[in-house]
Amino acid sequence: MNKNQTIAIALIVIIVVGAAGVYLIMFPPGPTVPTIVIGTTDSVESNLDMALAYDYFGWEMIIALSSGLVEIEPGSEAGAEDIEPALATDWIATGGGTIWDFELRENVTFPDGREFNATDVKYTFDRNCNLTGVGLFELDGPQLNMEYNAVIKNVTIISEFVVRFYLWIPFAPFLQLMSCAASYMVDRAVAPMDALLGYANTTQTPCALGPYLLDEWVRIGGSDDHVTLVKNPDYWNAAAGYPKTDRIIIKMYASDTALASAMTAKEIDIAYRQLTASQINAFKADASVKVWEGIGAQIQYLCFNQDVHPYDETAVRQALAAGINRTHVCASVFLGTFDPLYSMIPQGMAYANTAFNKWEYNKTLVAQLLAPFGYNNVTKLKLNMTYESSGHYPQSAQQALVYEQDWEDTGVIDVTLYGLDWPSYKVARDAGSLNVFMYGWYPDFIDPDNYEFLPFAAWLNMGYNSTYPAGGIAQYNLWVQGRSATNDTARQAAYVALQNLQADECSVVPLWQSSTVAVSKLSIKGVVLDITVNWRNWLLYIETPTT
């Protein structure tokens, strides 16, 4: 019997007292239960309160412990047709897309036995969207940063199991917004209207109604050590057989080296985030494990300060786009684990095209586009590029060296590289003092709307925002058309036109798209890696060998 597959639990209570606080670690008695152990280098950045949590692992915990009105179908492109019922069984939009009514699922109960209803939905959004600063926390949560208040006007109870959202604007990706962790329900019996839940009691969170319950969350010296999730017997989708595994233990490792070693030694069943490209390739050669690969939603792109000559010239930006060999950087830096990107919308997401492939690496075209500006193999374009040097983005220094090589190989560009740590990088960005620089994006919610504004985003300080007369007004207008369209055909038309215009203007240039990778024992099944980058613990199970 594999010790990671079943664990017999005895009653143990340990009280740990330390500088980080006092924690009660409980191992409740119970029968032997199927268990999957996952290893990761991630941890919870702030806490598990939806009004503050704004990090990848925090959100993954929330979607395991709570539920939203809707979900995205696993393995889909997260388009309008891929939205599935969750706590809402049906919905309808009226008022030109500014009124949304949701019929709620009945007979869903919180851990204390109270039935979920429309009051809980209203409470969730009234609370999370209006907290501004609480106790020891300076609130900078997702609802604030994602501008929920620019979309949602108010939430009204129609009846016990019908709730209505009034929107300020027709917002086409509203269901995608409702599917993200920041829109998941809070337990009003636990979560005060005017306060956040912090670390004082690590097993008390506002999360409820999800496939799992939080059994323990152990922090040592202020750092996460492990988390144990146990099956929620009252989960609304339990009749369909979810979650498929009774207990999930998530162990946190201090480094990718320690994580890879634990997977190699089979101390864990799954390794997920963050293995390096070389470690992943080593596991691909190991017949005793399975490497799961899926498309990812993280992208990186190149920005130009168009308040600085010659980057205000479209043809110069086009030349620099044609001087980037995306295949080179993906192969040499990321060892084939990332993919070249030819749109600001990641491949695998609804409406994505490959408009930027017109600027595939072409040294002859670079020289032709720069020649009218007096640049040639004698008088070269002097390009100053800045990269982030402190690890905020993956292998930025190595990336920069590849881009430098590709540009200089054209014979008409001379590159000087500058590295800045992340705090200094943001200061320089805000000051508009960067000429050419790399930036990255990871989505708040899975929809093109959350990517397509980047080429004219004012906060990037490129002199090409939606109010700049010679800049991004046309792009901005197409973006608004896409987000406010009332049918899928109109959305697709707007986003196709927008991607094509962005490829023509090259205010930013997409570089690569990450992949998502997990390594597991051969017996592990149910891993789904799709464009949402959601880690769905409730789908995982251990395949029992046939005799």
Q: 456-479 pLDDT, tens per residue? A: 988 899 988 766 555 678 999 999
The pLDDT value recorded for residue 3 is 37
Residues 238 and 134: their CA atoms lie apart, in Å, by 36
The pLDDT value recorded for residue 546 is 66
The pLDDT value recorded for residue 5 is 43
C-beta separation of 412 from 463 below 8 A: no
Taking the model in full, what pTM does it have? 0.80
How far is it between the farthest Cα atoms of the chain?
78
Name the amino acid, one letter, at 519.
Answer: V
501 pLDDT higher than 60: yes
Residues 108 and 117: their CA atoms lie apart, in Å, by 8
- Give per-residue pLDDT as tens, 29-47: 445 679 999 999 888 877 8
Our CA angle for 412, 418, 421, nearest 5°, is: 150
CATH number of 62-198: 3.90.76.10
Q: Which one of 3.10.20.30, 3.40.605.10, 3.30.1300.10, 3.40.190.10 gives the CATH number of domain 1-41+211-288+522-547?
A: 3.40.190.10
360 pLDDT higher than 90: yes
Residue 21 pairs in a beta bridge with 18
Tokens of 399: 């990336």
User: Within 10 A of 322 (CB to CB), how many other CB atoms are there?
Assistant: 25
The pLDDT value recorded for residue 139 is 58
Residues 275 and 264: their CA atoms lie apart, in Å, by 12
φ, ψ of residue 445 in degrees (nearest 5):
-140, 155
132 pLDDT higher than 90: no
- Give per-residue pLDDT as tens, 397-411: 999 999 999 999 999
500 pLDDT higher than 70: yes
C-beta separation of 227 from 250 below 8 A: yes
Q: Where are the domains of the chain?
A: 1-41+211-288+522-547, 62-198, 296-514
φ, ψ of residue 364 in degrees (nearest 5):
-65, -45
Q: Which one of 1.10.1040.10, 1.10.3720.10, 3.40.50.1370, 3.10.105.10 gives the CATH number of domain 296-514?
A: 3.10.105.10
Burial of 222-259, coded b for 16+ CB within 10 Å and e otherwise, reads eebbbbbbbbbeebbbeeeebbbbbbbbbbbbeebeeb
Tokens of 174: 């509203």
521 burial class (0-12, 13-18, 19+ CB within 10 angstroms)?
buried
Pick from 57-61, 482-486, 496-500 the range whose average pLDDT is largest: 496-500
Average pLDDT over residues 86-109: 97
Which of these ranges, 91-95, 340-344, 483-487, 522-526, has the smallest mean pLDDT? Answer: 483-487
Residues 510 and 438: their CA atoms lie apart, in Å, by 10
DSSP 8-state code for residue 66: B
φ, ψ of residue 161 in degrees (nearest 5):
-125, 30
Name the amino acid, one letter, at 201.
Answer: N
Closest to 125 (Cα-Cα) out of 89, 88, 163, 91: 163
